[in-house]
Structure 1
Amino acid sequence: MSSTSSLIRMEIPPVPYFIAVGMTAFGPGGQHPNRRNLGIFDLIWMVKGVLYIAEEDRQWELSEGQTLLLLPDRFHYATKPCDAETVFYWIHFDFTGDWSVTEESAAPVPPIGQPWANRYTIQIPQYTAQPSSAMAQHQLQRFMDLSSENRSNAFWNQQQLFMDLLRKLEEGGRKGSASPAMKLAEKTEAYIKQHYQADLTNETLAEALHFHPNYIVRCMKEAYHCTPMDYLHEYRLEQAKLMLIKTEWPVAQIAETVGFRHTPYFSSCFKKYAGISPLRFRKQYSS
């Protein structure tokens, strides 16, 4: 049994893409086939019995309610035959973006990035136990039922169900592995996004979140490798980028709206951050 657990991190866009779903049943003596470099992700969701399976040098004994995500570029093989009747769903999906494997203790560092890109990093535990197994099985059976419907109807419904399952996997993994520092960093991030137009300081964050300002700074550095004020500064500038593209507001109005008191200081910060002035940034997207 593997003693370590990993997170599969997928940077989106693009998003994972559902391909196919099925159910497999093995009697005593049956076993998972050996596969190498399948080229797609294979998510196993156990229903009954025990499946003995390995990926490279890691081994698992999967039982009811447990999931395992097999990676597209690895060697998968059975470590021993099943002892009794064993049933599991499998979901094949593809992902053409950047993905990596990291330990659960590794803190995610979501880039602030361009706001119109809507970037995010999905973090799915490679191996986990699902608390809502019955609900998941209902969704998986719905997956199976959709396979017999017409393609245009099945496509959208299956993609939606698939994304919902990934969300459940990610949420389940985060509840089990998120440290107090990570939880506070995420609360700080959310508060900054909601109040970035206000006059925020480390002290006002501390008052709002009920933690010492030094502890909030330390948690943000640990989780996101930046201070709250660094995050606030970049988030304001990214919102300014969006406003320069989506509105015809003067630069002074945009500067004030995103939380800068003085327009020249805003313009200086923007040029240092984006490499060009606010007006030149707007012009490159104008007809």
Structure 2
Amino acid sequence: MEPETYVVLRAPPLPYYLGAGVSAYAEGEQHPNRKNLGFFDLLWVVRGELHIGENGRDWALGEGQTLLLLPDGEHYAVKPCDRETVFYWVHFSYSGEKEVRHAPLDRFQQPFEQPFSNPYEIRLPYRAGPGGASEGPKLLRELVRLRDGNRTAAFWKEQALLLELLRLLEEGEHESRSTPAIRIAEQAEAYLKANYQAELTNGKLAEALHFHPNYIVRCMKERFDRTPMDYLHEYRLEQAKLLLVTTDWSIAQIAERVGFRHVPYFSACFKRQAGVSPLKYRRRYRS
């Protein structure tokens, strides 16, 4: 069985909306052949069936199904439509790092060293559906409506609608492939983030989630490639970086605030992860 394919966009930056439209093909018509467009082309079929291929892979897209054509790909008609077919298309550009990746996707992303980076991997299914049956076409219709309006009034709405559309695709795919183990791991992640300042153990986490600690550890390693305590340790250090830059608190205050009870141990852990002491890290960002 062919593995699922995803397009991973590392944010920042965010995708930028270029344009949208709707195409209707009568029986016997087909999608044009194109290559190296330089932007992503998202297709969303609402009626009929579209026969299209890209870079040697062919699909028959039915109602509610989507395909994300690549900026540097070569896409072409596999065969003409055998009945009336209607689909929306959305063009958007992206100037950051991107890659095509195969499942499984669910692994923890290493934190960035910069304290304000707030990184995120946008994980879009190459082909998906049916999904977002009611919300997706509604967003697409609004994008098409805005196309002929005042540019200044439409700009922010268009960008927001694009991101909402991509959110639908990402979350819909995640929910369809989520397993009990992944859901438990994500519950554990949320609990650790909400309570990272407290003294936490695998036992306390297990009590809060009502699962055996060994099971939670297995789930976290499957989802994040880390044990709960390893995840907690790294998250505490990331919060410490933020406080070093945004406050004048002492190293001891910051260590206690993020859950470390002993300053020398905090400093040793911080240097091992960041490569410099907490004080030297702070000086990077001070004039």
TM bracket, shorter-chain basis: over 0.9
Distance in 2, Cα, partners of 1:184 & 1:119: 23
What residue number does 2:273 align with?
A: 273
Residue identity matched to 2:88: Y
Distance in 2, Cα, partners of 1:38 & 1:108: 31
Residue identity matched to 2:286: S
Percentage of identical aligned residues: 53
TM-score normalized by structure 2? Answer: 0.95
Residue identity matched to 1:105: P
Q: What SS does the corresponding residue of 1:117 show, helix, strand or coil?
A: coil
Distance in 2, Cα, partners of 1:135 & 1:109: 29
Q: How far 1:3 sits from its partner (Å)?
A: 5.5
RMSD: 1.5
Distance in 2, Cα, partners of 1:268 & 1:248: 20
Residues 132-211 of structure 1: matches in 2 within 5 Å? 132-211=132-211
Distance in 2, Cα, partners of 1:24 & 1:91: 11
Distance in 2, Cα, partners of 1:123 & 1:92: 17
Q: Tell me if the contact between 1:105 and 1:177 (Cα under 8 Å) persists in the aligned partners.
A: no
Distance in 2, Cα, partners of 1:7 & 1:187: 24
What residue number does 1:126 align with?
A: 126
Q: How far 1:165 sits from its partner (Å)?
A: 0.6
Ranges in structure 1 where 5+ consecutive residues have no aligned partner: none
Distance in 1, Cα, partners of 2:90 & 2:132: 18
Distance in 2, Cα, partners of 1:216 & 1:96: 38
Q: What SS does the corresponding residue of 1:116 show, helix, strand or coil?
A: coil
Distance in 2, Cα, partners of 1:125 & 1:198: 38
Q: Tell me if the contact between 1:182 and 1:223 (Cα under 8 Å) persists in the aligned partners.
A: yes
Distance in 1, Cα, partners of 2:122 & 2:153: 26
Cα distance per residue 1:190-213 (max 9 Å; x no partner): 111111101011111111112211
Distance in 1, Cα, partners of 2:283 & 2:3: 51
What residue number does 2:74 align with?
A: 75
* Structure 1 runs, 4 residues or longer, greater than 4 Å off: none
What residue number does 2:41 align with?
A: 42
Ranges in structure 2 where 5+ consecutive residues have no aligned partner: none
Distance in 2, Cα, partners of 1:10 & 1:29: 36
Residue identity matched to 2:111: I
- CA, structure 1 residues 115+203, in 2 after alignment: closer, same or farther (shift >3 Å)? farther
